Chains A and B, each alone.
Chain A
């Protein structure tokens, strides 16, 4: 998995709560072959899973991607499956992560739902 910037994600990155940002960032790009082999179609979702977490995203075919690679626009959805380890130099591994991909019927969480489990907890 790699995460990175896209034009639409960039345009929405200062309005994170908007539906535009949701549309722009809660997606997962797959190679055309992978897209087919998972029997996906426009609007279908995929579940991405690794040791750090799991997230459901809208699947999108992307001719520019090689097989066995997924691309997710940088942002809160991608970050669910990024680990906290900084490898000694301060920056988490946002790219080059192993992830399992499967088609799913589960819905994509919107940004509020995504963080609903992460409310303010009991610090003093």
Chain B
């Protein structure tokens, strides 16, 4: 067990660590310091995602500072949006009006991003979304300042529907939380499933912090679907899967990107998690050379919480932002312009190409299945090879 003091000392250890590993960098103080922002939920219910993103962004900054060839010295300003739009607007204003900050990556919660895009636009601060998946964040406006490295939930659900119907599943029951995240997934998944010839036999809205799903699952059991989908985040996903077992529901359990976390296994144990399907934007981190590098460095940095599903995106977004500064200088307008022209930019999540709304169009979506307490890329899994079997369609 780690001790608390360790954790509070972490920040200190880091700064000491980086400067020690970089005696050269002492000289590098000759470099100008450039401040870059990070915004995400650091407190409250989804803070694990925010902390994973924050750590990954911090890692990107550290690694670049360790590089003697970088033109500037970077500093991360991390702020907490509490997953609330009003707090988001507040911290976004703080960053955007701070002249020293030349760019930021921001937001895991879509409602917050929806509220803050105007702020970034108004003050001309380039912002790259690292986690929020609502399409409107990029497509609902023409702001050149706003870009996004991760895909939207449209891409994700299109892939999810095609994979699942391709496996022969016909009937789906969807349980979604009533946040924008869960509701959005419900809408798009239903749309693509219906288009793909499958049917959604029931959709149940639940609150994000709901503990007991017996009432909903009792009805699901009566509907006897091939697949039970949970559209929400890890805690809810763990509970739904857990309680499906209690009620003896025999169906494939499918999640969305929000449950693709290590915590899913920690909360559920490997056995129950086995055979859970989920989908996530981007190439699997461990498959790309950059991704493996990221995971290795993340491990080495000694963060005490995992990067979670969107950590790689936060890293990629921050890395891209730093590339922009390196290429066009610490100037907001120049960075916005640079971002507008990003094409086939190499990143740990695969190449990034922004369309005219700043959305990464190389929306590679990867299917994962839980196998032996790990998320395994579907194509590589024993399920795809036929060595193991998911619950068969009815």
Do A and B originate from a single complex? no
Which residues of A are interface residues toward B (Cβ below 8 A)? none
Which residues of B are interface residues toward A (Cβ below 8 A)? none
